Amino acid sequence: MFAAAPLAATTCDIELVERSARILTSLEGGYGVQYWGESYTADGLAQAPHGVLIIEASKVGALDTSDGREILFTRDEMSAIGRGGGRPVLVYLNLTKLEPWRDYWPNDETQPPWLGPVTETGDQLAAFWRPEWRRLLRERAARLMATGADGIFLDDALNYFVAGMLKDIRGGKPRNVPEAAAIMMELVQEVALAARAVRCDALVVVNNAVFVGRDAGPEGQAAFDSYRKVIDAIMIEDGLRPEAVPNLHAALREDYLAKGLPVLSLDFASDAKADALMREARAKGYVPYVVPDGSFSSLSPAVALER
């Protein structure tokens, strides 16, 4: 098995229950997701009414700067967005997909060891099982947290399943889905520890990968328990569509809600259908958020929790 890289423990008086209380209280004001757009400035985001914001820390991508380095929000800007600590701001970090606008991307034609396979849909994956990529993510998590963010939003964790289904196992790729699921849970824990080495009460939200514990098999349940202790919520995208994966909502209820972990439901619909989706999400115990499309170029209205 792939052993998690050791990280120095940090002294922190924040207990899991306190992190949980903070995100639950903040989610009473709903949440919002925005990664770019005309209003994508510190001032614009600061005016948003949402209780929690999930944003992109990079104001300018590496492809659009003279030195090939991303320009991130400053600590002062992040403080303004988060209202001086009054509102949690989580910054985006992709666990498995390579993004050429990041400054980790080589500026020559060399192929880094963390270059993974290309999926059937054309996505270039990172070799998330390799130590080089894991180290890169830990370093990036620390850099993102140094902006003054309150936590990290970990995207595309579900690609453990894609990697586990691929036939080619060269380069140390996991041999099957259970092995890939175990690696993903280890990776999330490593990144969470790296974030909390900068800020010990950092919040961690994972997007999708609902079945990661079940896919790890019976021998992976201890690891799943540890995984759930380091994350503070899970998001599910488009989970209310009729053709959603069978048992999805049972897994969310049994594996997350029953353990006190909030479920953030993000769905795509026109205004006419948004209200029905919000009601359905609330009925299932989720925190709803509905956007018109997947551009995330503006914030949709916050949906406050009903009491």
The CATH number of the domain where 68 resides is what? 3.20.20.70
CA–CA gap between residue 222 and residue 164 (Å, rounded): 20
CA–CA gap between residue 296 and residue 247 (Å, rounded): 28
Q: Tell whether 146 is covered by a domain.
A: yes
At 113, is the secondary structure helix, strand, or coil?
coil
Give pLDDT tens digits for 260-307.
Answer: 999 999 999 988 899 999 999 999 999 999 999 999 999 999 998 765
Q: Tell whether 176 is covered by a domain.
A: yes
Q: Tell whether 6 is covered by a domain.
A: no
CA–CA gap between residue 124 and residue 256 (Å, rounded): 30
**Structure pTM?**
0.93
Mean pLDDT of the chain: 92
Q: Tell whether 296 is covered by a domain.
A: no
Q: Tell whether 198 is covered by a domain.
A: yes
Number of domains in the chain: 1
Where is 22: in which H helix or E strand?
helix 16-27
CA–CA gap between residue 194 and residue 42 (Å, rounded): 25
Where is 227: in which H helix or E strand?
helix 221-230
Q: Tell whether 178 is covered by a domain.
A: yes
| % of the chain beyond a pLDDT of 90 | 79
Q: Which domain holds residue 174?
A: 16-291
CA–CA gap between residue 41 and residue 50 (Å, rounded): 16
Give pLDDT tens digits for 46-103.
Answer: 999 999 999 999 999 988 888 989 999 999 999 999 999 999 999 999 999 999 899 9
Q: Tell whether 303 is covered by a domain.
A: no
Instruction: Output the DSSP codes for 55-73.
Output: E-SEEE-GGGSTTS--EEP
Taking 90 as the threshold, does the pLDDT of residue 179 lie above it? Answer: yes
CA–CA gap between residue 88 and residue 131 (Å, rounded): 30
Q: Tell whether 138 is covered by a domain.
A: yes
Residue 263 and residue 252 in contact, taking contact as beta carbons nearer than 8 Å: yes
